[in-house]
Amino acid sequence: MRPSRERIEHLARELVDALARSRAVVLLKDREAVRQAVAQALTEELRREELREENARKRIASMKGPRPHTKEWDELFLKFIEEEAMRDGLDS
This prediction has a pTM of 0.79
pLDDT of residue 11: 96
Counting every residue written for the chain, the total comes to 92
Question: pLDDT tens-digit profile of 25-67?
Answer: 999 999 999 999 999 999 999 999 999 999 999 999 998 878 8
Q: Compute the mean pLDDT over every residue in the chain, rounded to the nearest whole number.
A: 91
Report the C-alpha gap between 59 and 7 in whole angstroms.
31
Read out DSSP for 55-71?
HHHHHHHTSSSPPTTSH
